[in-house]
Amino acid sequence: MADLNTSERHERALIIDFGSQVTQLIARRLRESGVYCEIHPFNKADEAFIRSYDPQAIILSGGPSSVTWEDSPRADNAVFELGVPVLGICYGQQTMMEQLGGKVESGTSREFGRAFIDQQSDDPLFEGLFEGDNQEEVWMSHGDHVAQMAPGFGVIAKSPGAPYAVIADPERKFYGTQFHPEVVHTVHGAKMLRNFTHGIAGLKGDWTMAAYREEAIAKIREQVGSGRVICGLSGGVDSSVAAVLIHEAIGSQLTCVYVDHGLMRANESEQVVSLFREHYNIPLVHVDASDLFLGELAGVSDPERKRKIIGKLFIDVFDEEAKKIGGADFLAQGTLYPDVIESVSAIGGPSVTIKSHHNVGGLPERMKMQLVEPLRELFKDEVRALGRELGLPDAFIGRHPFPGPGLAIRIPGEITREKADTLRKADAIYLEELRKNGLYDDIWQAFAVLLPVNTVGVMGDERTYESVLALRAVTSTDGMTADYFPFDHAFLGRVATRIINEVKGVNRVVYDITSKPPGTIEWE
């Protein structure tokens, strides 16, 4: 895990990850209330680490394992010996009980989905909750359950399927919830987490974006010294914010390199070059490498091979450009905290594939540069907040997320220049209509996908055999879970008609209404 030294002046919480697909949401909720926190996998959070990290509160996440299994994950005993408040969530509650002398049973009491808990006694954890009918709506997801509490614990809330829905040892400030307060489905879950961090643990919530900006600049100056930095701009929010932040820290020691790989959205290159050369006056090298990238991608259909080819070529181009400017000591990237967390996941899963276009594991040995990753501690919404703090235009900050490989992962199958041009035109029409109808800012991410499917159609008096285009638009508060945007049919009809009329090669448009539950990946 990253060495996040910029937080040294702040109170901090530690989240120990047992592999839940929504662990990141715990961190997001804490950050939203001004509490600095980090996520570390259970198998790396040993006593030495925990004591050196010096948390003022600890949260044990959920996870897919059963504490009844042999060799199932456990928290280091230092968690319960440090003398700080501890909150166990779902699996975290269960391992807490097993480790402190309670008992967990498997398979006899299951709850999945919405449930209602009833308060059994007053507790600081419930400050401002249980008003009206004395019930709270929560989100359960468990097969195991606590059958016997550890000594010192009492029940403070229960549900029909979980008699130990919330338990507490007030003297030691140990708490456990069978449900997930971090998800939006637990209506007042964020309030409950705040009650734990601010009320029970006594944290003030002193972590702000203004403070982060100041500390990040100091850290960049300390790391870089008099060295030179080359920053790879992708055209997205992350790399742009990173570049502006680094430029504020070291000025002319930074050179940005924008590589046009031929797979950008319409007018993307012109917008990026204009923003950085004219608005910020940041030294920028614009490299048109479309022939190189499209040539290497010719005939490649496997999505993971595409990512690896693109990632390698980016590094090659940056290395070459660094030599042209007389060498660089550092390569700057817009790596975010979710990339870092997933790259060192305790449990494994799809993150290796999802994040394979980020160099979170370091650079090739042949490159003599070190990485500068000033956004490594931030979530996506925090990056946007930092961008506003730095004065980036709202229109740029509010851009929908767009992956580094660009249109390459919006063209399943082989990529050609003709396909990229077709998709680029259709995608531009889609985004133009979203903005024209005031919908762009209501949507977290929207894009078009050129499917590897042709259909027979009749256009005028001619029969056509052309491509099917899929449109996708999702709403999200965290970027981890998402639901499709409920367009009205009139809007979809207008967009489809424009695309079919204006984009040669497309004769059918469909709208993807797939939701994105936690743990799934985007179109590939």
Active-site residue numbers?
90, 180, 182
- Cβ-contact 387, 244 below 8 angstroms: yes
Mode of pairing for the β-strands spanning 284-288 and 254-260 = parallel
Q: How many CB atoms lie within 10 A of CB 511?
A: 16
Helix (H, G, I), strand (E, B) or coil at 278: helix
- Cβ-contact 503, 459 below 8 angstroms: no
Query: Tokens 């550890």 — which residue?
Result: 150
Query: Tokens 């490989």 — which residue?
Result: 405
Query: Tokens 């009918």 — which residue?
Result: 133
- Cβ-contact 491, 38 below 8 angstroms: no
Q: Which amino acid is at 492?
A: L
Cα 353 from Cα 350, distance rounded (Å): 6
SS (H, E, C) 332-392: ECCCCHHHHHHHCCCCCCCHHHHCCCCCCCCCCCCCCCEEECCCCCCCHHHHHHHHHHHCC
Strand-pairing partners, residue 155, are: 167
Cα 3 from Cα 134, distance rounded (Å): 44
Cα dihedral 273, 271, 339, 390 sign: positive
Helix (H, G, I), strand (E, B) or coil at 469: strand
Overall residue count recorded for the chain in this entry: 524
Helix (H, G, I), strand (E, B) or coil at 6: helix
Cα 57 from Cα 204, distance rounded (Å): 12
Residue 504 CA to its chain's centroid (Å):
36
Cα 364 from Cα 316, distance rounded (Å): 10
